[in-house]
Structure 1
Amino acid sequence: DRLHKERQAPEQVATFRSELDPSNSSVADLLTSTGLASSKSNALRLIQQGGVRINEVHVKANAPISTVAPSASAAEGLLVQVGKRNFLRVSFGG
């Protein structure tokens, strides 16, 4: 199980196209819009507890997505991880 032994993302990750603007939307907004968090307060709790990573970097504050992950506009999107097993690749734009 490479997910836990090698601490790598799974080979196949679900993708989600978000209509959010990375420069104006927070990480909590991203988590709630993708369904990775059930509410904004749940998303804030996950961030405070250190359970959120974007592109394999821990998110420590509820900042704009573009601040946390400057490559948010890249074509490959962001790899968002919540907890140990919940992964989602998010791309932006219509």
Structure 2
Amino acid sequence: MTGSKQTGVTAHYWYPEGLPVLGAVTVHGRTGPQIAHAGIPLIGATPSRLDEAMSQHIKNHDLGLLFTPSGSPIPPGLQCDINTTRAGDTAISEVTFASADWEL
């Protein structure tokens, strides 16, 4: 897309008392900045490699296993949902990080 601007992140707000409160931020797989958890790149990875790396990290550190709403393994305390987006003929990861009271 020549000449167009692409957003790397999207902020998600809610209005519990009439004022906006930031509830979550999505980092887009194709245009967002790289973010890592425990040295594991979360943005722009193929889903199978990300799931394998996260599962191995959880196992190596005996962290306990949770799954995101979309089915990806994560350790307890990592409040996020790992999704995919198309990148040509493949899918890559993008992540929504959320506050504890935000419903993923």
* TM-score normalised by structure 1 residue count: 0.26
When Rg is computed on C-alpha atoms for both structures, the one with the higher figure is 2
Structure that is richer in strand per residue: 2
Structure showing the higher helix proportion among its residues = 1
The structure whose RCO (Cα within 8 Å, separation 6+) is larger is 1
